[in-house]
A = this chain, B = another copy of it.
Amino acid sequence: MRKIRYPNGKQMPDTPASSYVPERMKANEFLAMMQAKQQGAANRGMTLEEEVNESNQYYVAQEIAAVHKKPTPLQIVKVDYPSRSAAVIREAYFRQPSTTDYNGVYRGRYIDFEAKETRNQTSLPLKNFHEHQINHMRLVHKQDGIAFAIIRFTMQAETYVLDASHVIRFWDDAHQADGRKSIPYAYIAKNGHRIQESYRPRLDYLSVIDRCYFS
């Protein structure tokens, strides 16, 4: 098996602003990224999504798991064909995904998750999820897959794996008249499983999955 080489002390390779191309992001993520760039990207840490993607690349390269982020679904309206190999999309719109962002296979099991980070210190607002994702997680559970959320509280610098059953329960409660519209930090800290920072991959979430679902 090929060894992965990690650059020492270096951030993920930086792409010069002029050629940086967001490949898989939603409108709001794109906006956030553009704002971050204006504030000086060199100064910011990696986002949760970047860390998850880096971990997945590591897992794939090491043949530990096959987990990928799904591309953002777009509604393509107009395409120019200056030549077939260089089709240019000239008009397209972001669409709401019908599933969670990440899925794949690990140790014979289907795994499926959504990664969310919040600067809110007391709770994760449920508006971070949408109904299609919740229903998708229900179906994954019904089909005996592993479904969870990776939740980061940015200010506390703490990241948790929380089984989808909790997310679904809070969602259902929120959609009754008096349900709360967020999952409290204290609840997640108690019922979730913290992902400790590690070196490679930086966000070794599968070590938590091992503990929670395979032991």
For A70, the chain B residues whose CB sits under 8 A away are: 70-71
Residues of A25-54 at the interface with B, using a CB-CB cut-off of 8 Å, are 25, 27-28, 30-31
- Give the Cβ gap from A177 to chain B, nearest Cβ, in Å: 25
Question: Which of A115-123, A138-146, A186-194, A195-203 makes up part of the contact surface?
Answer: A138-146
Which B residues touch A105, using CB under 8 A?
110, 112, 140, 143-145
**Cβ of A178 under 8 Å from chain B:** no
How far, in Å, is A115 (CB) from chain B's closest CB?
17
Instruction: Write out the residue numbers on chain B whose beta carbons fall within 8 Å of the beta carbon of A110.
Output: 104-105, 108-110, 145
Give the Cβ gap from A49 to chain B, nearest Cβ, in Å. Answer: 15
**This chain's copy number in the assembly:** 2
Q: In the bound complex, do residue A21 and residue B76 qualify as a contact, i.e. CB atoms below 8 Å apart?
A: yes
A85-111 interface (Cβ within 8 A of B) = 86-95, 97-99, 103-110
Say which residue of B91, B99, B108, B144 sits within 8 Å of A88 (CB atoms): B91
Chain B contacts of A92 at CB under 8 A? 74, 88-89, 92
| A residues adjacent to B (C-beta < 8 A) | 2, 21-25, 27-28, 30-31, 60, 63, 65-66, 68, 70-77, 79, 81, 84, 86-95, 97-99, 103-110, 112, 136, 139-140, 142-145
Cβ contacts A to B, 12 pairs, < 8 Å? A21-B76, A23-B74, A24-B73, A30-B76, A66-B136, A71-B71, A74-B92, A88-B91, A108-B110, A108-B143, A108-B144, A109-B110
